[in-house]
Structure 1
Amino acid sequence: MIETDILVIGAGPAGSTAAKHAAMGGAKVILMDKKSEIGSPKRCAEGVSNNGLENLGITPDPRFVAKEIDGCRLVSPDGTDVWLTKEEIDLPEAGYCLERKVFDKFMAMDAAREGAEIKIKTLAKDVKKTDDGFIVTCESMGKLFDIKAKIIIAADGPESHVARWAGLKASTKAKDMESGIQFEMCGVEFERENIIEFYFGSCAPGGYAWIFPKGDDIANVGLAVIAPETDKTAYEHLEEFVANCPATQNAQAVELNVGGDPVGGIVKEIYGDNILVCGDAAGQVNPLTGGGIISGMNGGMHAGKVAAQAVKSGDCSKKSLKEYETIVQKEIGKDIDKYLKVKDYAQSLSDKELDEVAHAFQNVSFEELSTTEIVKNLVKVSPKALLKLGKLI
């Protein structure tokens, strides 16, 4: 039996951040991941904001930053585009396209340097509650062993089992789980460099398609769909998009990534006696964009801090850990709720309505690149948006 104060299950950005801050708080921490290489395979378009990294105390490093981003292009079904770049508007912050296979290992190394013990290729097989914590049965290299922890932090991704094994209501409904698929491609022909592109409408029912540049002629090209919204697979939609999009018609794929993306907001229960949930496992994802790196790391940071304090106080009960939910709701929950309303509105629009919005946007002056600014201008040009989203601005 291995004993520890805090066991973090899942070494993605959220889990590694949780382990780092728990260790910084003085707790004995184990961080485990089922993969043999942390960060691989990636299941992400890899975009983050500079401000988001800064708030987490992370300095961009050329070893994990693939490309600096200067804005975005929004494309409606008929090809009408809206440019929100430094050439058109003031950008309050830069963004980056990461190399997740490097970035995730950097985050795990940060946790290790703060004192967390890392166990790779270690799979959680079972979770049992005890009077003073949990016993997690693990498998590594064909061998079974148990880890006893005062607190477990479930950061095991969108397919999370740990929280449910522990008795929490932490599942995402099928209608709120996007099926994401992506090629990393070379030979992509960009209209402008350093710009991320979003394509809306029936090319990706329930979601959108994207092109995220990674330097030279390389980009992540993918899309996400809601399965009940289409009779095609995500892969079929991606093949059609790549064949029809001018930027990718001459490009070739060198990597394929697939995965689920929870876009239904934060799950019902993210804490309980001796357990916290963070990252994709907790639904800490922007429902509008599907991006979850920064919000998940914020969740992980607060989970690690609250868990360490609970261990120090000797009280790891649900009552003690409720502080985590309070902080998360204040720091990221309100924004996620807002984005969820915008997502539901966007999904209600037909291709024709999306084109009409894009046409109207041609005569709108944007002041900055932000969700609030986009919503503000949607309300200006669309009575339907005013009815659905007017209260958000």
Structure 2
Amino acid sequence: MEVKTDVLVIGAGPAGSIAAREASKNGVKTLIIDKKSEIGTPKRCAEGILKSTLDELEIKPDKRWITKEITGIEIVAPNNKKLILDQNNFELPDTGYILERKVFDKHLVMDAIRYGSKVMVKTKANQIERIDDGFLVYANNLGKEIKIFTKIIIAADGPESKIGRKAGLKSNTMLDNMASCIQYEMVNVEMDESEHVKIHIGTICPGGYIWIFPKGDDIANVGLGVLKSHTDKTAKYHLDSFVQTNRYVSNAQCIEMNVGGDPIGGLLDDRYADNIMIIGDAAGFVDPLTGDGIRTAMLSGKYAGIVASKSIKMKDYSRNILKEYYDLTEEKIGKSFNKFNKIKEFLLTLDDQSLNNIIEEILKTDFNRINLTTLFKIIIKSSPKSIFKLGKLF
């Protein structure tokens, strides 16, 4: 079987679906393929999202995929002192939701379909070949070999992305920049406040942090990400150790386990070429500081879809035209990622005692009067040697 399309989106995660939506919205013939038989599974995400992200991406909230509204965050120091930020003591710039990604991802694909996109599940792209005006993609669809002719590929095939490399781009993530992540969805979790997310910091999770994201009164995602450069133990070892000793989850049971890599090294420079753009996790659109990737992945998809539609209408699919995608993502995302990377590297130098001191000093301060200067003073007071490390950030 042969299929022809203007834009082929490989991967039906949030980035790919938003890219397809934007291309279809502008009247471009768009096809999404995904190797899985069910879109949205397995989930590889803590499932948190800010309300402003939905506004930014023009996604209307729907109770079908919102499991919990979040009103605050608790940062837990190594000594278990809590820094609680919620509307009671701090003017939060935004609040958020915990999603059910298995439903949310389908919702985004459905939106793309409503704008005209076509979708093929259980379809894996095996090989790609350059042709005169685009690519010929050899794929397997439900056990049958098919050929897909496309002018533009938008690669949204996740952190293990192969499509970019098959097209000749240097799009692999260095192992040192790949966090090893594991998450349990657990039931019978005890919570003081079921509308707060909890973040545990320190050597309890080397090179990362532990999260507890509530999905119900006694249901939560409990997970972590570690850097192999900071531990010789597995991510599962560290999570199991936490679960066994933390009073909120020690009696809880796991009903789903998800594992995977999280690219936290920043954006790949080589993320576009003639007839191709790489988006989402495949191109490193993951916040280096928090490990959150859903917002920036969807934004990368939005920009790629818009640029693809312009390219098709101009009948010019060269890198000169697609460079607009690179420029947009560099300006809107890349610059902030560069700063976050430096902050991440600084935070990784702090030991548990320094983190305890910083949290305790912040707790003595009026939260609403904390600004960047105040925070620097707190850090230096709590850990005087940090002044040399902070200097490298600027």
Match of 1:92 in 2: 93
Runs of at least 4 residues of structure 1 off by over 3 A?
Answer: 373-378, 384-393
Correspondence 1:322 to 2:319: no
Distance in 2 of aligned mates of 1:391 and 1:61: 44
Hey, what does 1:350 align to over in structure 2?
Answer: 351
2:372 and 2:150 map into 1 onto residues whose CA distance is 45
- Which amino acid in structure 2 is aligned with residue 220 of structure 1? N
Q: Residue in 2 aligned with 1:378?
A: 375
How far apart, in 2, do the equivalents of 1:392 and 1:353 lie?
Answer: 18
Uncovered stretches (5+) of structure 1, i.e. residues with no partner: none
| SS in structure 2 of the partner of residue 216 of structure 1 | coil
Which residues of 2 match residues 1-393 of structure 1 at below 5 A?
1-367=2-368, 377-383=374-380, 387-389=388-390
Note if contact 1:158-1:281 (Cα within 8 Å) is conserved in structure 2. yes
Residue type of the partner of 1:381? I
Larger deviation, residues 339-348 vs 146-155 = 339-348
Which amino acid is the alignment partner of residue 166 of structure 1?
A
Deviation at 1:202, TM superposition (A): 1.5
CA-to-aligned-CA distance 1:61-111 (integer Å, 9 cap, x gap): 100011111121111111121111111101122201000000000000000
Secondary structure, aligned partner of 2:292: coil
1:385, CA displacement in angstroms?
A: 5.2
* TM-score of the aligned structures, taking structure 1 as reference length: 0.96
* TM-score of the pair, normalised by structure 2: 0.95
CA pair 239-343 structure 1, distance change in 2 beyond 3 A:
same
Q: Is the Cα contact below 8 Å between 1:180 and 1:223 reproduced in 2?
A: yes
Cα deviations by residue, 1:199-240 (Å, 9 ceiling, x for unpaired): 111121111100000111000000000122111111111100
Contact map agreement 1:379 1:390 (CA 8 A) in 2: no
1:380, CA displacement in angstroms?
2.2
- Measure the CA separation in 2 of the matches of 1:241 and 1:52: 31
- Conserved? CA contact 1:378–1:385, under 8 Å: no
SS in structure 2 opposite 1:159?
coil
Q: Which amino acid aligns with 1:110?
A: D
Cα distance in structure 2, aligned partners of 1:242 and 1:298: 34
CA distance in 1: counterparts of 2:298 and 2:372, whole angstroms: 26
Contact 1:364 1:377 in 2 (8 A): no
**Shift of residue 386 of structure 1?**
5.2
Letter in 1 for 2:277: L
Q: Distance in 1 between matches of 2:373 and 2:82?
A: 18
Q: Which amino acid aligns with 1:285?
A: V
Q: CA deviation at 1:138?
A: 0.6
Give me the whole-angstrom Cα distance separating, in 1, the residues matched to 2:343 and 2:21. 33
Q: Secondary structure at the match of 1:15?
A: helix
Residues 216 and 376 of structure 1: CA distance in aligned 2, closer, same or farther (over 3 Å): farther
Aligned partners of 1:265, 1:50: CA distance in 2, in Å? 24
Unaligned residue ranges in structure 2 (runs of 5+): none
Instruction: Kindly indicate whether the alpha-carbon contact (under 8 Å) linking 1:17 and 1:304 is maintained by their aligned counterparts in 2.
Output: yes
The Cα of 1:32 is off from its aligned counterpart by 0.7
**Aligned amino acid, residue 190 of structure 2:** E
Number of residue-to-residue matches in the alignment: 389
Q: What is the CA RMSD across the aligned residues, in angstroms?
A: 1.6
Residue 392 (structure 1) shift: 7.0
